[in-house]
């Protein structure tokens, strides 16, 4: 079955700098890749997603890139702000089922 | 719309006791899920449902049972609680339309088993 690995487990960046979180997946048939943000004590919420027929997607300061050949995708956050501090989860899914296979999460710390 | 709600928010059980967690959604979603999240860990799927009257096992189903008698509700049961089941439990729901897989999460239930 599908397996998703996420790195790093913790990332500390200076406010205003960029942050990059990477995930790799094992099943080449996976075609949907979302990113969720979970603030401390809160529920996970979708922040951006990408399908396999697209190489990159942007939404303001957030972007996701997908490399199908290498089977990895990344979350890019530019001009980081204190409110970006949270745990970020990547996931992968197939069209044939609606189960998300989750990465273990990255704790992003924004230093003032 | 309330979205996804969970009852209760907190619960403390003694080993061997039983309880039921209730998840309700008002978005007419076909798919519903139960996850557990342990400290510093990711989300692990316990059971899920693709429609009223159907349930299926996820990654960590042992010690849990579920029921989906109504489309809007998904119940998670612990028959004989164990300390290893101390965790935060999240319910989620999603549409069944191809290409629309966003999962909407409830606020979570913090369960402690002593």
The 10s digit of each residue's pLDDT in B7-49 is 999 999 999 999 999 999 999 999 999 999 998 778 999 999 9
pLDDT tens digits for range A41-64: 999 999 999 988 889 999 999 999
Token pair listed for B111:
């369960």
Kindly state the tokens that stand for A110. 């924004």
Query: Looking at residue A54, what is its pLDDT?
Result: 86
- B17 CA: distance to closest CA in chain A (Å): 26
Interface check for A51 against chain B (CB to CB < 8 A): the answer is: yes
Query: Could you tell me the pLDDT band of residue A94, with boundaries at 50, 70 and 90?
Result: confident
Confidence of residue B1 (pLDDT cuts 50, 70, 90): confident
Per-residue model confidence (pLDDT) at position B99: 65
Nearest residue, CB atoms, A89 vs list B42, B99, B102: B42
The residue ranges of DSSP E strands in chain A, in sequence order, are 4-7, 10-14, 19-25, 32-38, 45-51, 56-59, 62-67, 72-77, 86-92, 101-102, 106-111
Q: What is the mean pLDDT of residues A101-110?
A: 95
Helix (H) or strand (E) holding A34: strand A32-38
Q: A1 pLDDT band (50/70/90 cuts)?
A: confident
Residue of A nearest to B99 (CA): A95
Of the candidates B50, B55, B51, the one whose C-alpha atom is nearest the C-alpha of residue B71 is: B51
In which band, very low, low, confident or very high, does the pLDDT at A97 lie, cut at 50, 70 and 90?
Answer: low
Distance CA B3, CA B109 (A): 16
DSSP H or E segment with residue A57: strand A56-59
Q: How many contacts does A have with B, using Cβ atoms within 8 A?
A: 44
Q: Measured in whole angstroms, how far is the alpha carbon of residue B23 from the centre of its chain?
A: 7
CA atoms of A99 and B57, how far apart (whole Å):
11
- CB of B101 within 8 Å of a chain A CB? The answer is yes
Contact A50, A73 (CB under 8 A): yes
C-alpha closest to that of B93 among B38, B43, B26: B26
- Bridge partners of A5, per DSSP, are A24
What whole-number distance in Å separates Cα of residue A85 and Cα of residue A11?
A: 10
* pLDDT tens figures, B48-106: 999 999 999 998 999 999 999 999 999 999 999 999 999 999 999 998 766 667 899 99
- The pLDDT value recorded for residue B61 is 96
pLDDT of residue A18: 98
Q: Which residues of B are less than 8 Å from A102 in CB distance?
A: 42-44
Q: How far apart are CA A2 and CA B108, in angstroms?
A: 26
Q: For residue B79, give both structure tokens.
A: 């028959």
Q: How far apart are CA A50 and CA B25, in angstroms?
A: 25
Shortest Cα–Cα distance, B80 to chain A (Å): 27
Using a CB–CB cutoff of 8 Å, tell me whether A54 touches chain B. Answer: no
């Amino acid at each position: 079955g599908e397996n998703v690995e996420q790195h790093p487990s913790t990332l500390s960046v200076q406010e205003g700098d960029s942050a990059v979180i990477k995930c790799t997946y094992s099943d080449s048939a996976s075609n949907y890749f979302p990113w969720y943000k979970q603030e401390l004590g809160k529920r996970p919420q979708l922040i951006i997603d990408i399908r396999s027929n697209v190489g990159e997607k942007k939404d303001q300061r957030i972007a996701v890139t997908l490399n199908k050949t290498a089977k990895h995708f990344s979350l890019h956050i530019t001009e980081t702000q204190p409110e970006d501090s949270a745990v970020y989860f990547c996931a992968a899914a197939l069209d044939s089922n609606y189960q998300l296979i989750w990465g273990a999460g990255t704790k992003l710390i924004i230093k003032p | 719309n309330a979205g996804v709600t969970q009852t209760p928010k907190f619960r403390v059980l003694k080993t061997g006791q039983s309880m039921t967690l209730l998840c309700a959604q008002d978005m007419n979603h076909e798919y519903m899920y139960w996850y557990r999240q342990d400290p510093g860990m990711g989300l692990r799927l316990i059971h899920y449902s693709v429609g009223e009257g159907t349930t299926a096992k996820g990654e960590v189903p042992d010690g849990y049972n579920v029921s989906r008698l109504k489309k809007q509700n998904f119940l998670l049961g612990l028959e004989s609680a164990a300390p290893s089941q101390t965790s935060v439990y999240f319910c989620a729901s999603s549409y069944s339309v191809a290409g629309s897989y966003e999962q909407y999460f409830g606020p979570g239930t913090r369960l402690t088993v002593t």
